[in-house]
Structure 1
């Protein structure tokens, strides 16, 4: 099993001028600890479970491009882009450019989106949930075509692309991760289109995560896709840095079939947090099934 870094809180000492050097140190420490990937949130305002909307929230694709220039091995993705934020053709071009300039380290993380407050605040159209899922379905189809070099016209209910040209093409076809735990729409889209799913640990009851993965298995069966083709990822908080408890948690995730666990550290970062993370990386490495190829 592999481990990644998920950042939600950028409220660090020193204000805006300190954000870049602080993030630079975090990324260097994360890479030295052996983490697989870096996943900042794709939000424009801070979300309520972390703090007030006025807290700092850098735009995610500028952040990932900046991070690509300062790292060598970390894979890079947004956790996750709301489908209504960006036109799909532009989004695919952004992720492809990130992939090319990072040497093949980009992922497309995407979901139906939910934060109406930031959308209204910035004047971003916020369709009803049913329409956002329709747009997500079409966007996943468009991403598959464009990543694979298919520039034939696409005409859907919400998007029409006369020539979805995508040059330069990706160094590596960016894996597509769909975030969300909805059993009807989200899980069906994962089974039909995605390379990976993402589930939030703290939104599940103790056995809830396993149940969600069982649902995903059924959705894969329904579309005739092998369940093991889907990379299973989770996101969860590092709380009190209890090493034994964290090891037991990773053991349980691996038993349930999780391939990549994204860790959200406390903020501000405690002293020694990446030495602690390095211990978890070493513990997780032999757990679970052999690492799927797209994890690198």
Structure 2
């Protein structure tokens, strides 16, 4: 069996460059193109996705990963539905709780993360299906909101590393993106997802997202991305790989003061 491959693009380059990479990935047979949503750190997510949609014909495309905080989820629903329309039905949406790299520079407090993601999933499903949605939450609300151009079966995929978001994903999502999960925990996470979806009569997609380096030069380039991945990891994972709290605090301070370029120097 051949496992389908995806490409995950961090839009630190112009949207046209990312579109060229997506074209190459499509030509090589990749199934999905995920685009990071990192707020001020990268180019705009949906402008980049629009460029990818117009340049490609078959590859599935969507946020990898957005969250309920940087945009109102109603606005996210409209954006994803527009990308879906532009790409002739190829869009999906990946949702997580947001990380420090994205939310920190915007001064956003990540309140009730798992509950808010659950509320977002329910709201998006209703809007994509053309329903009128009313919901009240601590982070966002919708009042008689509706979307006239959604597709009811747009895939909703969750992402995260903690047990609560894993459980939620198994309950309400169409799939789960295991992003930068430590190798010793992959089996445990997959088992938890399978257990949560066992009673569900539906297809469920599990993806694994990571970074491969084959040389010291590539590792040096990867350190900036690893900096925020490490500090956003659960405490249990940081302990597993031997990170001390002093190292975590140091990287967080470096991210706040100088971004990933400065923080990269602290990744060993």
TM-score by length of 2: 0.73
Change (3 A) 1:83 1:154: closer
Counterpart of 1:216 in structure 2 is: 193
Structure 2 residue 9 is the aligned partner of structure 1 residue 7: yes
Change (3 A) 1:39 1:233: same
Long gaps (5+) in structure 1: 12-18, 47-56, 242-264, 269-296
Instruction: Return the match for 1:166 from 147, 150, 158.
Output: 147
Structure 2 residue 179 is the aligned partner of structure 1 residue 205: no
Distance 2:129 2:84 in 1: 14
Deviations 1:48-105 (A, max 9, x none): xxxxxxxxx1111111011111111111111100221111111111111110111001
Counterpart of 2:22 in structure 1 is: 27
Deviation at 1:160, TM superposition (A): 2.9
Long gaps (5+) in structure 2: 222-268
Higher relative contact order (CA 8 A, sep 6+): 1
Distance 2:72 2:124 in 1: 11
Equivalences for residues 110-259 of structure 1 within 5 A: 110-115=95-100, 118-123=102-107, 125-128=108-111, 131-170=112-151, 173-183=153-163, 185-200=164-179, 202-206=180-184, 208-221=185-198, 224-226=199-201, 229-240=203-214
- What is the SS of the residue equivalent to 2:132? coil
Task: Say how many residue pairs are matched.
Answer: 217
Deviation at 1:194, TM superposition (A): 0.4
Segments of 4+ moved more than 4 angstroms: 265-268
Structure 2 residue 38 is the aligned partner of structure 1 residue 43: yes
Distance 1:3 1:75 in 2: 11
Distance 1:85 1:4 in 2: 25
Distance 2:109 2:133 in 1: 28
Counterpart of 1:87 in structure 2 is: 72
Distance 2:16 2:123 in 1: 37
Contact preservation (8 Å) 2:116, 2:137: no
Contact preservation (8 Å) 2:167, 2:196: yes
Distance 1:139 1:164 in 2: 13
Bigger helix share: 2
Cα RMSD over matched residues? 2.5
Change (3 A) 1:69 1:38: same
Distance 1:165 1:158 in 2: 19
Instruction: Return the match for 1:66 from 51, 55, 58.
Output: 51
Contact preservation (8 Å) 2:49, 2:62: yes
- What is the SS of the residue equivalent to 2:145? coil
Contact preservation (8 Å) 1:152, 1:163: yes
Contact preservation (8 Å) 1:84, 1:132: no
Distance 1:79 1:20 in 2: 15
